[in-house]
Amino acid sequence: MEENKKRPIGVKRMTFFTHTAQQAARSFSFVERISKSTGALFLQTLTFGFLDEPEASLRELTETSSDLGVRITKQGLPTRIEKAVPFLKEMFQQALTLFRHELPLDLKTLRQFTAIFLTDSSTVALPESLQEEFPGCGGNGPDAAIKIQLTFEFLCGVLSGICLQAGCSPDQSYTGELHAILPGALYLNDLGYFVLSRFRTIAAHRAYFLSRLDTQTALLTVTGEPLDLLAWLRTRRSAVRARCPHRVPRTAALPGGRGAGAPASRR
C-alpha cells in the first residue's frame, strides 16, 4: 500500500490498463491462450470506447479495438462481453484500490471524525430482457432496473464501497456500509435510509450518524415528555429517544458555536 501511494497517477493508469488487466484476465480465465486479443486490450476497448461515446454501438467499439491494433468482429464482441463479467468486476475492485487518494483534507472541524461516509443510490433502467435478474419497480417505472448503492469517504476523497441491487430494492434495507463500522466515523444518509435499528447499530460501534428526521417519528425526552425539536436544536441539552421498540442512544451535536450544528448520535 505504501508503494502504491508514492506512484504518480500516470504510472498507476499504465499499470492498471496493462499489467493489472493481464493478470486479472488470466486469473478469471477470460484469456486462456496467447493471442493479440488480450485482457488489457479488451479493457481499453470498452473504457476508451464508452468514454468517447457513452452509447457506443458494437460497430463503434470494434472500431476502437481496431484503433488499438486488434480487430474484433461485431459478431464476436457480444460473446466476449458476456464472458468478461467476472473479469470486469475484478478490474473495478482493482481500480477502487489502485486509484485511492490517501491524503486527507485539511478541515479542522471535520477532522474530529476518523472518517466521513456518505451513502446514496442511483437507479438505472435496463433492457426488459434483464427483468428476471434485475426487476424494476413497475408502474410508471422501467420493468428492469439496477440500483447502484455507493459509499464515498469524504475526508480522503475515495469510493469506499459499491453494491449492485435490483431496482426494486428499498434503500431502507441496505446495510452494506455497516458491515465494518469504523469507530469515531460519521455516517451520512438521506431520508430514504432512515431506520432506527440502523442508527442503533452505528452508535453501538461508537460511531456517529447524521440524518434528516422522519416527521412521522415521535420524539420524547428521557422523562417521556414530548420533545420540541426546534427548542432542542437551539439548546442541544436534551437526550432524545423515539417511541418505538428501538431506543436511540444519547445524542451529540456537531461543534460550531452556540445554536449551530445538527444532531448526530453517539453511544
Instruction: Please state the domain extents for the chain.
Output: 2-98, 110-265
pLDDT tens-digit series, residues 77-125: 888 888 999 999 999 888 887 877 666 666 777 888 999 999 999 999 9
pTM: 0.63
Residue predicted with more confidence, 221 or 209: 209
CATH code: domain 110-265 is 3.30.420
Contact 151, 162 (CB under 8 A): yes
DSSP-derived secondary structure letter, 19: I
pLDDT (average), residues 57-69: 91
Residue 60 is predicted with a pLDDT of 92
- Is pLDDT of 248 > 90? no
pLDDT tens-digit series, residues 131-158: 999 999 878 889 999 999 999 999 888 8
| pLDDT band per the 50, 70, 90 thresholds, residue 34 | confident
Percent helix, strand and coil across the chain, each to the nearest 5: 35, 20, 45
